[in-house]
Each structure stands twice: as structure tokens, then as C-alpha cells.
Chains A and B, each alone.
Chain A
């Protein structure tokens, strides 16, 4: 077998590109499992900000999320691990808040992006309903409300 580096690299590049493109096109999984988990988490953990972070599947790689978010103003570092709890099964991040603290959404989105992930939406309980506050990734950060029963 003779070594043909250019041929080998070309084949490998095509192979890896195929994987990458295929991944981009892949349809997302069902959201109802995450929404049910969000409702349960919010009912069990008071005074938290609960965020869906797309791609959070590996706790080791996602350490940057905790490192970045725990530095935000208003985070209660005494709760969870440095104030942040990450669930790779549901891709939900719980941010423990100090009393009356409000998280700056633009700061949150940027910090998650800086860690290599995407902050998609935040969940809140409203009466007995779950509200999804969808983050728009532009400069103004619009919030769209959706209500799930």
C-alpha cells in the first residue's frame, strides 16, 4: 500500500464534511419531554432561572457554561454547584438566584454563546402554566411568550 496523503486527506475531508452537513440538517427531538422536565424543575426549585441550552449533552464540555454563568450578577453560588445545575438529559440549566435578583438576558445569551452553546429559551411558571420565553439572538433581545398547558 503506497502512501497518498493528498488523496487520503481529500477523502477524509469529504467524509467529515458529510457528517457535519448531515448534522445541521437533522431534525430536532421532541420538546414535550423537556417541557415536562422544566415544569417539574420549576415546581421543585424556587427562585431559579431555568434555561434551555441547545447542545448541552456533555457535562465535561459544558463546564464553561457553569464557569461563565456563575459569574453573573444575582447568582446565588451557595446553591447547586456554584449556583448552576446542568442536566444533559433535558439540556436544562438551572441558575440559582439571590432574593429579588433579575438576570440580564443579553448577558446570559452572550455567556452561553461564549461557552460554545446556544441559549434558546427560558421557562417560567405562570399560574399553573409553563411559559417559554424565546430568546432572539439579535442586539435587542426580543422575548416571545408561549404558553404550554
Chain B
């Protein structure tokens, strides 16, 4: 749903529900403790306004419905920690250069980003309550049948949180129904943190365009490679379902 709205003056909003389950407590790539899980439920509220077709503004605000993780308490038992409430606000200014060819269309994107801390400090934190600045690059194109997208984004934070790098490669197949259309994707993400933590996750996604206004998307990813520099949960499954409206 990131490709819309491409038209000047277009705007939209979308709601994603994300569920993450991580079943192992890792240090490096080793399972230090088994049976110590983390379950996270997040609602992502996102808005977009396309000023001119080359300039957009995006706003993303997550709300942690419920997050819970089990950590060792030092005496052989489990310490349960929880988090809930608003996450940090993410503002983006995607600047796009489109190209249109016979049978092919796409764009190259340069995206400055800002993270504004709105989250509260809890027993543990999904969002760190730190200012951050980020820069993203992306390139995507598609034909009537296929989609290809590659992107990378880096973040640095004003605090203890290590710098982050996200890279993604997405491949898609476009299909049409009688009155609408959709896409099936295979998406691969690489997440790297400056403390040497790195995660490679991959999985399918399904996008459907119900009509000119309503769109939905469902995705699942599994952590194929997970290396945590500090004691943290890993080897997770990430499930996301969302619906969006564009005008």
C-alpha cells in the first residue's frame, strides 16, 4: 500500500495490526534459554498526503496494545515484563522521481525521516522514547505482471539506542480479478543494529485492491537468521494484517 496515492492532492490512511511471537531467548545466535517467550500486539496508525506527485508526507504512530516478555529472574524462574501504550511518532518526507515506459513504471525514492518520542517508559520498551533521524533510499518498478522493489533506511538516535539499518527486497506477482486486482509478494528484510544484532526475515504477503478506495494487505515473516548482541528474544514470527483507504 506504499505505492499510493501517486496523484497530486491524494491522501489516505491505514490501520495495521501486528502480532509478533518470539520463542527463544538469544545471546548471539545461541538459544540461552528455551521456553522464554515474547508476545507483542501492536496497532499501527498511518497517514499519507501527496502534495505533488513527487512529494509526500507520511505519519506513522504505533500503539502497543499489549506486549509481554519472559526473562530469567536470576534464581531459575521467570520474570514477566510488560509494555503498553503509544509508541514513537514517525514522520517521513518521501521525495520520488517517477519514470514511465511502455509496459513498465516505477520510482526512485529519497526519504528523510524523523522520530519523535511519545512513548512512555515501562517495565521494558518496544519503543525507546528517543529522538531519531533517518534516511531512506528505494527503487521500485513494475510491469502488468511483476513487481520489484529494493529499499534501505538508516536511523540514528539521540540516546542509548544503537543505530539501525533496514534493508528490504520485495518481489511480486500482479493479478487481476473480474472487477479488481491484487498482488502476491515474497518479501525479505534485513535488520541490523550498531551493537552487532542482526536479523534476516522473509515471508509471503498478499495485497488486494477491493476498489478505488479500499485496499488490504496481509503478511507473515519468519526470522531465518537471528543474532542478538545482548540477551533478547529472537527466532520470531511476524504477522501483519491491515486495511487502508485512499482518496
Using a CB–CB cutoff of 8 Å, the interface residues on chain A facing chain B are 1, 3, 5, 8-9, 12-13, 15-17, 19-20, 23-24, 26, 28-29, 31, 54-68, 81-82, 88-89, 91, 114-118
Contacts and interface: CB of A to CB of B under 8 A. Distances in A.
Interface of B: 3-8, 10, 53, 97-106, 108, 135, 137-139, 141-144, 147, 150, 152, 154, 156, 163, 165, 174, 176, 179-181, 192-194, 196, 198, 207, 209, 212, 215, 246
Contact of B7 (A9, A23, A58, A115): A115
B150 A16 contact: yes
Contacts of A57: 103-105, 142-144
A5 B212 contact: no
A69 B82 CA distance: 52
Contacts of B7: 63-65, 67-68, 114-116
B226 to A, nearest CB: 15
Contact of A91 (B53, B102, B141): B102
B101 A5 contact: no
Given A26-B104, A115-B6, A115-B53, A16 B138 contact: yes
A65 B6 CA distance: 10
B227 to A, nearest CB: 10
A3 B190 CA distance: 13
Contact of B152 (A8, A60, A66): A8
Contacts of A60: 3-4, 181, 207, 209, 215
Nearest to A62: B6
Contacts of A54: 100-102
A13 B152 CA distance: 10
B163 A116 contact: no
A72 to B, nearest CB: 14
Given A13-B137, A114-B53, A67 B212 contact: yes
Given A16-B150, A57-B105, A116-B98, A5 B156 contact: yes
A34 B3 CA distance: 26
Nearest to B194: A3
Nearest to B227: A1
Most chain A Cβ neighbours within 10 Å, of B142, B193, B198: B142
A23 B99 contact: yes
A66 B198 contact: no
Nearest to A28: B102
Given A16-B138, A61-B6, A116-B98, A66 B212 contact: yes
